[in-house]
């Protein structure tokens, strides 16, 4: 993906935590808003965990180090819990944010391994309703899972019999997916494209075939496939895109995916227009629109737009185009950072740590809250937060 420009302003010098005798700390320098370590070296919403990603470093991940998994991002309680009812509550170290009952509820909500009874039930549904493409694709995916979970029959079979069972499940799944693709089912096209991208379903990795399927699904109105088609066009064949590099076409597909309500594409398009990337002219007004749309649909997998929009509304933006078009609103900015931080986004957590350290964004100076937010970001590998934490 295209590299994102970064700011290199050092963090303000830190001494001991402020207290009454020492007086307030010096005014803070501008926090480097774009130096989110999720994307400080690359403007890459393609790294969002919104879509299944081929195992190779291609269709959705060109960052180094890779994006942590959604499960890892959710581990937010190492540094204590944060109550954010009004955006100003204190951090209480050592108090678990999740009760035992909610942990049990979460465990119950986790998907259970496939069973033979479940497969038999799905097969009966497909036989009774052969036009139900959604159930047919679900059955194919369950068969792929069964190749790992059920092939050995709970360890009763030897290696040879297990391998034979595994092959049987995979071949059955492949046959069903191909049938759905031949009938023009976009979701099956997208799934098969992912399989070609990562060499799953018994297939060899074939980026050209993957791109062809992504594009076919995109033309049929599949939002995620449109986004992935754009990624392929941006990357080109040398980086696993499976097609020639065409930035203009990439932008067209990003725009199409955004219009189809794909959150990752909304974010990507917003950043492209905000920074004038991929051969596009800067357009702060349109960038703001797309970032707001992405922020409205933000979740734990897609918190990026919340942070970038928060940066956009911070006072004293270093970008003259932003200063000319955006009226600063630190209260709105703080709310956005808090929401993104609540989703586990480390760049926003680090920004809140800095805000509590120096009393910016309308927040009070609070050493404990600052350390807690910095700790959460540092636990996820945010280098600015690690440096700031060492100052405390």
Q: What is the CATH number of the domain that holds 256?
A: 1.25.40.10
Whether the predicted pLDDT of 72 surpasses 70 = no
Task: Name, in order, each residue with C-beta under 8 angstroms of 143's C-beta and a sequence gap of 6 or more.
Answer: 119, 169, 170, 172, 173, 176
Domain membership flag for residue 239? yes
Whether 316 is covered by a domain: the verdict is: no
The total number of structural domains in the chain stands at 1
Specify the long-range contacts of residues 290-293, CB closer than 8 Å, at least 24 apart.
290/258, 290/266, 291/266, 291/267, 293/258, 293/266
> What phi, psi does 19 have (nearest 5°)?
-145, 180
- Please give the pLDDT value at position 111: 77
Name the burial class of residue 155, with classes exposed (0-12), middle (13-18) and buried (19+) by CB atoms within 10 angstroms of its CB.
exposed
DSSP annotation of 92: E
For residue 126, is it within any domain?
A: yes
Residue numbers of the domain that contains 246: 112-261
Instruction: Summarize pLDDT for 95-145 with one digit per residue, the tens.
Output: 334 444 555 555 555 678 999 999 999 999 999 999 999 999 999 999 999
Q: How far apart, in whole angstroms, are the C-alpha atoms of residue 301 and residue 69?
A: 9
To the nearest whole percent, how much of the chain has pLDDT over 90?
A: 69
- Pick from 68-72, 178-182, 257-261, 335-339: least confident: 68-72
pLDDT value of position 154:
87
DSSP reduced 3-state for 82? strand
Using alpha carbons, select from 30, 6, 80 the residue that is nearest to residue 379: 80
- State pTM to two decimals: 0.71
The answer to whether residue 383 sits within a structural domain is no
Alpha-carbon distance of 62 to 42, in angstroms, equals 8
Instruction: List beta partners, residue 81.
Output: 92
Bigger pLDDT: 171 vs 55: 171
**C-beta pairs of 247-250 under 8 Å, 24+ apart in sequence:** 247/278, 247/279, 248/279, 250/278
pLDDT given at position 106: 55
The helix (H) or strand (E) run that includes residue 138 is: helix 133-149
Helix (H, G, I), strand (E, B) or coil at 81: strand
Residue 245 lies in a domain: yes
Predicted pLDDT at 391: 87
Is 67 within the bounds of a domain? no
Residue 208 lies in a domain: yes
- CA dihedral over 160, 162, 165, 170, signed as positive or negative: negative
Return the pLDDT at 109: 58
Q: Is residue 129 part of a domain?
A: yes
């Amino acid at each position: 993906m295209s590299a994102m420009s970064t700011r290199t302003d050092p963090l303000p010098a830190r001494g001991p935590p402020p207290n009454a005798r020492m007086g307030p700390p010096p005014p803070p320098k501008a926090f480097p808003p774009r130096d989110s370590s999720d994307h400080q070296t690359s403007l890459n919403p393609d790294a969002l965990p919104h879509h299944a990603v081929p195992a190779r470093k291609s269709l959705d991940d060109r960052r180094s180090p890779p994006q942590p998994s959604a499960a890892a991002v959710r581990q937010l309680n190492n540094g204590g819990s944060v109550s954010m009812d009004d955006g100003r509550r204190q951090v209480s170290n050592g108090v678990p944010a999740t009760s035992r009952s909610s942990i049990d509820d979460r465990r119950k909500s986790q998907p259970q391994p496939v069973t033979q009874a479940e497969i038999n039930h799905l097969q009966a549904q497909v036989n009774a309703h052969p036009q139900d493409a959604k159930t047919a694709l679900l059955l194919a995916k369950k068969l792929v899972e069964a190749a790992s979970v059920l092939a050995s029959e709970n360890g009763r079979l030897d290696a040879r019999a297990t391998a034979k069972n595994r092959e049987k499940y995979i071949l059955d799944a492949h046959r069903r997916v191909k049938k759905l693709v031949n009938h023009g089912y976009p979701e099956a096209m997208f799934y098969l494209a992912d399989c070609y991208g990562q060499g799953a379903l018994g297939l060899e990795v074939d980026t050209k075939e993957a791109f062809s399927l992504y594009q076919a699904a995109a033309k049929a109105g599949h939002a995620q496939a449109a986004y992935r088609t754009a990624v392929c066009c941006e990357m080109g064949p040398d980086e696993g895109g499976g097609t020639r590099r065409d930035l203009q076409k990439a932008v067209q597909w990003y725009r199409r995916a955004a219009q189809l309500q794909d959150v990752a594409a909304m974010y990507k398009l917003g950043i492209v227009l905000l920074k004038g990337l991929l051969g596009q002219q800067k357009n702060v007004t349109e960038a703001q629109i797309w970032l707001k749309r992405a922020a409205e649909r933000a979740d734990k997998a897609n918190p990026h737009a919340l942070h970038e929009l928060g940066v956009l509304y911070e006072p004293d933006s270093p970008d003259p185009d932003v200063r000319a078009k955006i009226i600063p609103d630190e209260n709105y900015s703080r709310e956005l950072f808090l929401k993104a931080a609540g989703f586990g986004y480390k760049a926003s957590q680090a920004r809140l740590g800095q805000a509590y350290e120096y009393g910016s964004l309308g927040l009070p100076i609070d050493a404990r809250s600052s350390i807690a937010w910095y700790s959460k970001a540092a636990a996820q590998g945010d280098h600015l937060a690690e440096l700031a934490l060492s100052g405390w």
